[in-house]
Structure 1
């Protein structure tokens, strides 16, 4: 059995297929882990979601910010950005079952035997394992409820909840959890999330900002954290146990697949768009 971890797919289904074919991925014995943002800029969001849904127990997925945004679009809370190429997905005859499957996916995955965690953007350094599990699982329970749109999705679009403390309301704790696990890049000096700077680390001119993975964490030091979301750093963290897998395939770069057992990264360049008459 092999375990493969793939970076942000963002609807780039053809590139994903080529990657999996290159390693002879076999869902009857292998497991595919996805760091979230299955949908958006590429043209194959529908195919991507159908594929992961069909894998059942052979896939482990976490939700990214684009996946959560899809829930809002499908729920008529937001309008789709034409650049996100979601028309075919939203018009699919199985869209409702796809959405019901998607909202059952968690915000983090844990592999206790291998001391490994996976989330879309990372884990806020002030959280220990107990906080991560309890806060993320609380969001998952809300997403599973029939009123998830009104109770959470409609409320999550705010930058005001950028810090975690005991005075937060239950809803604010869920919003912080979403902001941290699906949107986090830099932290301010006081530990608050920064939502503005997306630059590569060497181009960040804000002295008060630090990449989240450079801040001392309360997660045990022997845990590996696998994440995506931050294409600008092209997977470079300078930490052996902080693995960034978003390498900007949807932006014209490449998709990265990490083979856990061999610690090998396999890549697939973005395919050139072909204009058809």
Structure 2
């Protein structure tokens, strides 16, 4: 049995199928991890959920910002924007089942036996793993509760830009969600810059990639993440595995076999 972690699919179903064929993926024996953003912006968002949903008991995915956006649109708290490719999902008779499945997905997955942690965007440098897991569970509990609509209605926004223990309610939930699903650059104290989307070599003054801070409290853990296509799969720190290689932008779709850290890629331009 092998375990394959794959970066942002974003509705690029045909490259996903080619990549699974390339690694001879056996759904009866192997396991699939996905680093969030299953859908949106790509050409086959509905078909991607149709393909993955029957495998839900044999795969693990964390929530990405595009997955959360779909929840917000489906529940009437956001309008699709012109670049979205999620309306075909909402027009499918199966979409309520898919939405209910998505809201059960975690923000953080930790497998102590394999020695990996997976998130969509990252873990802020001031949180150790136990704190990160606890804060992820806070938002996961809200997503699976009758507070879902209140959360989605207030989810969008860049403030607060830094964690404080005294935060509560929707502001607390928003900054936790932004760390796990939107973060790229931050300060050593975890202050977020959510505007900059360049590569790791172009941080705003006073900021650095979240994984580059020398005193990051999760330094000893292997962290899988997606979200940051501009990195092109290269993270400038040990124990960090960047898997978003820009499939939806014509790049590649990348899989990491966790048992031996071998990477596999599939061209997404054709």
Task: Give the TM-score, by structure 1 length.
Answer: 0.93
SS of corresponding position for 1:121: coil
Could you list the per-position Cα deviations for residues 152-198 of structure 1 after superposition, in whole angstroms to 9, with x for gaps in the alignment?
11111111111111221133221111000000000136530111111
The verdict on how the C-alpha distance between 1:262 and 1:189 changes in structure 2, with shifts beyond 3 A counting, is closer
CA contact (8 A) 2:251 2:269 kept: no
CA contact (8 A) 1:115 1:222 kept: no
Q: What's the CA shift for 1:262?
A: 2.5
Aligned to 1:180: 179
CA contact (8 A) 1:15 1:271 kept: no
Could you list the per-position Cα deviations for residues 111-145 of structure 1 after superposition, in whole angstroms to 9, with x for gaps in the alignment?
11232100000111111122111111111111111
Aligned to 1:84: 84
Whole-angstrom distance in 2 between the partners of 1:94 and 1:146: 22
How many residues were matched structurally? 269
The verdict on how the C-alpha distance between 1:113 and 1:23 changes in structure 2, with shifts beyond 3 A counting, is same
Aligned to 2:266: 268
**Pair 1:248-2:246 in alignment:** yes
Whole-angstrom distance in 1 between the partners of 2:267 and 2:118: 24
SS of corresponding position for 2:113: helix
Whole-angstrom distance in 1 between the partners of 2:205 and 2:165: 28
Structure 1 residue ranges, 4+ long, deviating more than 4 angstroms after superposition: none
Could you list the per-position Cα deviations for residues 218-270 of structure 1 after superposition, in whole angstroms to 9, with x for gaps in the alignment?
12x43100000000011111223100000001011111011112311111111
Could you list the per-position Cα deviations for residues 4-26 of structure 1 after superposition, in whole angstroms to 9, with x for gaps in the alignment?
00000000011000000111111
Whole-angstrom distance in 2 between the partners of 1:227 and 1:6: 9
Residue 225 (structure 1) aligned to one of 223, 226, 230? 223
Aligned to 2:15: 15
Give the superposed CA RMSD: 1.3
Aligned to 1:275: none
Whole-angstrom distance in 1 between the partners of 2:269 and 2:250: 8
Q: What's the CA shift for 1:199?
A: 0.6
Flag structure 2 segments of 5+ consecutive residues without an equivalent: none
